[in-house]
């Protein structure tokens, strides 16, 4: 059963744009780490401010351009300005500001115990 996708209207709610932009920030971070030959840092979303959306839904097959731009970074804190635009018209449909906290050594600290689908226990890398 779909969680956000409405099979009747063939769309997802406009508030899902918050997650789309947050995932774009994670992609931005991973890409820039990869360019430096490093692994992606673990980051935690601290907040989303001023989320504004101009549409109530994003329709199926609607092509969206999602942008994430780092506004400031200082001592493990970063702020990103994000927006979603309709590809065809280049008109903004959603925008927000995201605050993140990250550390370079969290990847090492976050070794946890995980369980696979059979219930077998294993350690994270």
Residue 115 lies in a domain: yes
What is the pLDDT of the chain when averaged over all its residues? 84
Residue 2 lies in a domain: no
Confidence (pLDDT) at 51: 92
User: Residue 40, CB half-sphere, CA atoms under 13 Å: how many?
Assistant: 10
Residue identified by tokens 């550390």 is 103
Confidence (pLDDT) at 114: 60
- The CATH number that applies at residue 21 is 3.10.129.10
Confidence (pLDDT) at 41: 81
Classify 7 in phi/psi space as left (phi over 0), alpha (psi -120 to 50) or beta.
alpha
What are the tens digits of pLDDT across the range 8-42?
999 999 999 999 999 999 999 889 989 999 888 88
Residue 4 lies in a domain: no
Confidence (pLDDT) at 108: 57
Domain count, the chain: 1
């Amino acid at each position: 059963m779909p969680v956000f996708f409405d099979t009747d209207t063939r769309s997802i709610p406009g508030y899902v744009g918050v997650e789309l932009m947050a995932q774009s920030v994670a992609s931005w971070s991973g890409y820039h780490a990869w360019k430096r030959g490093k692994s992606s840092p673990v980051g935690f979303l601290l907040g989303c401010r001023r989320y504004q959306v101009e549409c109530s839904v994003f329709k199926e097959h609607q092509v969206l351009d999602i942008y994430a731009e780092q506004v400031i970074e200082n001592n493990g804190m970063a702020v990103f300005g994000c927006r979603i635009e309709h590809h065809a018209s280049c008109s903004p449909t959603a925008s927000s500001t995201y605050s993140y906290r990250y550390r370079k050594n969290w990847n090492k600290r976050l070794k946890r115990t995980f369980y696979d689908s059979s219930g077998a226990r294993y350690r994270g890398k």
